[in-house]
Amino acid sequence: MTIDLDQAQATFDEAEDLTVGVEEEFAILAPGSLEMLPLFERLRDAADADEELGPYVTGELISSEIEIISGRGEHLAGALESQRERRRRLFALAAEHEVLLGATGTHPWADYREQQVIDTEHYRRVAADLCYVARRNNTFSLHVHVGVRGIDRAVRVCDRLRGVLPQLLAISANSPYVDGCDSGLHSARTQIFTKSFPRCGIPDDFGGWPQYRSYIETLERVGSIIEFTQVWWSVRPHFRFGTVEVRICDVQMTAAESDGLASLIVACVAQAAREVDEGRPYTALAPRLVEENMWRAIRYGMDGQLIDFAAGAQYPAREAVDRLLEWTAPLREELAIAVTLPPRNGAQRQRQLIEQGQEPPDVYADAVRQTTESYGRGQ
């Protein structure tokens, strides 16, 4: 066995509650044309000269994508402060190399067939194993890690977050375009990634570590995976960091939106952990029911209707933020977590321009402008 599950358990035994890590993925773009450029290696090598930046720049599947990570923050405020400074340095580095960085869940028109897979063992393996499915996945996400002590507890927190994932997706939706056309969706990224990759999207309700461990052991024994990161669920226990990792969200167009969404996610994890500790009952929705809300979030985002299965009724998706704020109010007050989000998210703002008759290059140029102005100032 190459996946050390005993070590994973030991990592969670030593984990601290509510440490925070933020990861944001950006497209590397040519000024003017806004075409994607395969310059990750050049930017990474240049970043290595800055000890405050280099260790926090990482690669994703393709060489026209770059990721900036906060590293471990002992609390939310510390993680956000670190991420703001690292974003500022990354955007300054991009400017020095005469490139722009884009922050929408998909690039509106880039041809996935023209993108180069970065030269690492992990991503060579992903591309060889998944073929078209991997190469097609030219997408950009926001991931948030929250420390949770105890691996059984972490799995149970993931269980409780399953029903919240569609709400977080609707709030974060920021990718109406793909393949040069209006997809009609609010999160084309989610359709491309979570509906194509294996072991992705909404996980089962595992009930605790013994069941989750058995699942991982089975996958490894039958040759489906050789590393735990090949389980791409939209929420998962991260064995290396001792965190619950929430992976459902599109990357955010502006820094303020990213910070607000990360804060909301931390509040959700903290609230779920408190409910696990208190033994509060909850209803584990069947995957088919969670998927109903997932589709609505993908298709209509904050402009549609989501389903309250307990009430057996629909509600406007725009209420998702208020519902999550109400649910997390006790922990937000206790931890002094403030959540500020705009009245219209990235997909809605792009769709407003689409409805006004603007073409993809103009809509994307406006998004890149907002990204450059907000992230580049270190906000």
Give the Cα separation of 13 and 303 in Å (integer). Answer: 42
Nearest CA to 26 out of 46, 42, 40, 14 is that of 40
Give the Cα separation of 225 and 219 in Å (integer). Answer: 6
Q: pLDDT tens, 218-247?
A: 999 999 999 999 999 999 999 999 999 999
At 140 the pLDDT is: 98
pLDDT one digit per residue (tens) for the chain, 379 residues? 589 999 999 999 999 999 999 999 999 999 999 999 999 999 999 999 999 999 999 998 899 999 999 999 999 999 999 999 999 999 999 999 999 999 999 999 999 999 999 988 888 888 888 899 989 999 999 999 999 999 999 999 999 999 999 999 999 999 999 999 999 999 999 999 998 999 999 999 999 999 999 999 999 999 999 999 999 999 999 999 999 999 999 999 999 999 999 999 999 999 999 999 999 999 999 999 999 999 999 999 999 999 999 999 999 999 999 999 999 999 999 999 999 999 999 999 999 999 999 999 999 999 999 999 999 876 6
Contact 159, 166 (CB under 8 A): no
Beta strand 200-201 pairing with 181-182: unpaired
Contact 26, 67 (CB under 8 A): yes
Helix (H) or strand (E) holding 66: strand 65-69
Give the Cα separation of 43 and 217 in Å (integer). Answer: 38
Contact 25, 60 (CB under 8 A): yes
**Vertex 129, ends 124 and 131: CA angle to 5°?**
90
Helix (H) or strand (E) holding 57: strand 57-58
For tokens 């820094």, the residue is 255
At 378 the pLDDT is: 63
Give the Cα separation of 186 and 183 in Å (integer). Answer: 8
Side-chain-side CA neighbours of 1 within 13 Å: the count stands at 14
Give the Cα separation of 323 and 319 in Å (integer). Answer: 6
What SS3 state is found at 347? Answer: helix
What SS3 state is found at 9? Answer: helix
What domains lie within the chain, and their CATH numbers? Answer: 5-375 (3.30.590.20)
Query: Which neighbouring-strand residues pair with 65?
Result: 27
At 336 the pLDDT is: 96
Burial label for 184, CB within 10 Å (0-12, 13-18, 19+), is exposed
The length of the chain in residues reads 379
